[in-house]
Structure 1
Amino acid sequence: MTLRRRRSALYMPASNARAIAKARTLACDVVILDLEDAVAPDEKAAARNRVVEAVRVGGFGARELVVRVNGLDTPWYADDIAAIYASGVDAVLVPKVSSVADLTRVRASLGEDGPPIWAMIETCAVILALPSLSAAAAETQLTALIVGTNDLAKEMRCRLGADRMPLIPALTATIMAAHAAGIVALDGVCNALDDPTRFAAECTQGAMLGFDGKTLIHPSQIDAANAGFGPSEEELAWARTIVATFAKPENADKGAIRLDGQMVERLHLAEAEATLAR
């Protein structure tokens, strides 16, 4: 699993030059320039050119820069890929991936030297195909799965409450598939822009389930996502304690130690080191 932070991944409409400029100043870990849902059909070509220019100019600092292209079955997909495959973008996010065949087609479009693939998990079909996607991650250079909760809920025809209960099986299946392949899993967006309590609760839930971060639709959500998916001071202190205790000469050959009334194994040491590295 990569140690790069993806606590907050903010969608920004590629048709909006001011939004792209603002993205260079925000505290999100990932900027996703969106050519799909956020761009009207008659603006697709101009938005695509704007993305290429934004990547060329740079200025995004340590933020990971990802472009969400239009879907494989749309008339804009081929032009999107042709424009950005060699642009230097960090990854290409593909919507409505449903099978390994989709991943293989995208990899062929990008070429072996093109950027990694991030896949949107937003159809019922892809939930059933998650094990095969996980198995094909290395050969297709798939490095992240992002749940598209809005589209998935629509296709399931489920009724979502604040607890997102109908989606829990799909969320956990996505996390397990991603982590089995050693790649990133990002939670879906929260549409409740005027309900910060609900958003914070979704971050807590997502982190508890095992997501690495959350996709966002507004800059106002960044701080809560960074806090929700970042380690707390208590978690950092405990990680430091574990690392320091295993580093003692008397514990050098031990597979497990007793620490503050708990049994701590070397797998917990690996987790603690990963927490501190992030």
Structure 2
Amino acid sequence: MRITRSSRPPVPRRSALSIPAINQRALDKAATLAADVFILDLEDSVAEARKSEARDNLKRFFGGLVRRDRGEWVIRINGMDTAHAGADLETVLACRPDAVLIPKVESPRDILDVADRLAEADGAEAIRIWAMIETPRAVLNAALIAEAAHTPDARLEAFVIGLNDLRKETGVLPQAGRQHLLPWMMQILLAARAYGLDALDSVSNDFRDLEAFAAECRQGRAMGFDGKMLIHPAQIEAANNAFGPSAEALEEAHRIVSAFAAPEAAGLGVINIDGRMVERLHLRQAEQLIAFADRIASGRDSA
């Protein structure tokens, strides 16, 4: 059976904070932050000469990490075409994060090669794969890449959009509103949804302009993204607020669930709530939203 977003428990991925693996202080602080996802980066944020040191940092960090009960922990490796890929994957296997994030993915083979490597290792069954979609070829191949999720062995679970690299390779300027990038972003989102994947919006580079960041979060949420990749802890609250359920949406969800639970709604596919026709598909959406809010509250309580 094909995996769909509606057939698996909701996982909060509102805020995915990227932390340079070379920054020991930031690593130590991570477990105290309210982000849903922590992306520990071995790629762009680590200088070439310090890759080995960053890998050692992660091994020490995961060796002492005791707060794996809250949030997801993801390691972003260097590209599979680099000299660091092998050592990075060895680090992933040593650390056992929740997922490995592969940069510059351009074809299903990029996913399947990593999946094969994980499958060969003992005790790595739970490690999932996330893919950075950040090149023109990746955008064009997004549906083919997402199709790799059709087989459980592929482990593919989420797309993360990388607009900085996409801008660099296309020449699109970094303008407010991202109007020239929106069609590509929606193409990536559509491919993800077609194959049951989550999709995270790209980073916003100016972490001091929180008003502009919040606007990007609202835009990403309106487009249908599950969350946003962040570069600074100051961005966590705005992302959590934008991509989390609002009080009004939760209230409406509970009303829908209560209405369908009433005896007079038994066996009905459509009911009238205050002059609005509500179908059972809306009931399923309401139940998912409530479960999502409960999952968020559970994570907050354990923090």
Range of TM-score over shorter length: over 0.9
Tell me how far 1:86 sits from its aligned partner: 4.7
1:217 aligns with 2:231: yes
Aligned counterparts, 1:152-231, within 5 A: 152-231=166-245
Helix, strand or coil at the partner of 1:109:
helix
Secondary structure, aligned partner of 1:172: helix
| Residue deviations 1:68-95 (CA, integer Å, cap 9, x gap) | 0011111101110012125321000000
Counterpart of 2:54 in structure 1 is 47
**CA positional deviation for 1:11:** 0.2
RMSD between aligned residues: 1.2
Kindly indicate whether residue 86 of structure 2 is the aligned counterpart of residue 72 of structure 1: no
Query: Does 2:103 correspond to 1:89?
Result: no
Matched residue, 2:117: 109
SS of match in other structure, 1:194 = coil
Task: Tell me the distance in 1 between the aligned counterparts of 2:224 and 2:112.
Answer: 27
- Normalised to the residue count of structure 1, the TM-score between the two structures is 0.97
Q: Where do 5+ consecutive residues of structure 2 fail to align?
A: 293-303
- How many residue pairs end up in the alignment? 278
Instruction: Give the SS at the match of 1:55.
Output: helix
TM-score scaled to structure 2, two decimals?
A: 0.89
Q: Deviations over 1:8-61 (max 9, x none)?
A: 000001001100011010000000100001111111001111112212222334
The worse-fitting range, judged by mean Cα deviation, of 21-30 and 154-163 is 154-163
CA contact (8 A) 1:35 1:48 kept: yes
The match for 2:65 is 58
Q: Which runs of 4+ in 1 moved over 3 A?
A: none
Q: 1:265 aligns with which of 252, 276, 279?
A: 279
* Counterpart amino acid of residue 157 in structure 1: G
Q: 1:136 aligns with which of 148, 152, 156?
A: 148
| Partners of 2:49 and 2:94 in 1: CA distance | 24
Amino acid at match of 1:99: S
1:8: which partner in 2? 15
Identity %: 47
